[in-house]
Amino acid sequence: MIYCNDLLTLSVLSLYEGELLGKVEKLYFDKKIKKLICIELIGSNGERYLLSSKNIYNIGKNAITVKNNEAVTLKVEDVDLCPSPIGSKAYTICGEYLGIITELSLNEKYLTQKFSFDNNSTVEIDKLASSGRNTTIFYDNQKKIDISKFIPEKSPKSFKTENIIEAQILPVEESNETKPTEPKNLSLQKPDFLVGRICIKDIFNFNNELLIKEHTKITKKNLKEITKYGKLRELMLYSK
């Protein structure tokens, strides 16, 4: 059995490189809190990284081990997942107060088994109805209600941009180092081909905030954030 509170005290070690990658700070679950999806680390440099649960090699008494540095990725935007509900108040769907969640128990596959409360009571995962930013709701034994029927009305569909993207940005200042060759028809290429390539230079937005770090493998999340700030052309130039 794995206890979430124990994970929050652990360091993360890379076996191949023999490096301390950071310490666990937050846990993120799927929308229904049924499985631990990823762990947020804070590195010695103050930057935040994400470790997918599928990339965990082993969880020990004092540390979590991963195979190599590629197991973690730089966090560049908020994670669209549910944070750990530990510390939130719990109620039944009929409004009965159950207590404050103090612990989550997971099995070896990182699937949630049960919730523990500050009054020493526990509830199994199959009783969970919903979990939000500050409150967790459980089904009542006397009431069986399908809360999926309570879904709000859908908002109007947002306009989808075309696959062809033409970035309009300020010129990039070049150093005395050898300048990379700009690909032909740069503005007409679909950006998806960049996923999996390596960024060879730190790229910042116009507020001097780091969007992607040098020597980082480009992910779809990186690409989304960089496109948002109009830095797509610069990423194309400084990736290989």
- Write the DSSP string, 156-186: PPPPPPPS------PPPPP-SSPPPPPPTTG
Stretch 46-74: mean pLDDT, rounded? 95
Q: How many CB atoms lie within 10 A of CB 221?
A: 18
**In the predicted model, is pLDDT for residue 207 greater than 70?**
yes
Structure tokens at 188: 């007409």
Helix or strand or coil: residue 187?
A: helix
Structure tokens at 121: 């009571």
- Bridge-based pairing of strands 97-106 and 112-117 is antiparallel
Does this model's pTM top 0.85? My answer is: no
pLDDT digits (tens, 9 = 90+) for 37-50: 999 999 988 899 99
Direct distance between the N- and C-terminal alpha carbons of the chain, in angstroms, rounded to an integer: 43
Amino acid at 69: N
Which residues touch 34 (CB under 8 Å, ≥6 apart)?
111, 112, 125, 128
Q: For residues 233 and 182, which has the higher predicted lDDT (pLDDT)?
A: 233
Could you say which DSSP state residue 33 is in? S
In this predicted structure, which of 64-73, 104-113, 163-172 has the lowest mean pLDDT? 163-172
**In the predicted model, is pLDDT for residue 188 greater than 50?**
no
Burial of 240: CB neighbours in 10 Å, binned 0-12, 13-18, 19+: exposed
pLDDT digits (tens, 9 = 90+) for 66-86: 999 999 999 988 888 899 999
Structure tokens at 155: 């908002």
pLDDT digits (tens, 9 = 90+) for 119-156: 999 999 999 999 988 899 999 876 677 777 787 776 65
Rg (CA), the chain: 22
Could you say which DSSP state residue 230 is in? T
The answer to whether the beta carbons of residues 89 and 135 sit under 8 Å apart is yes
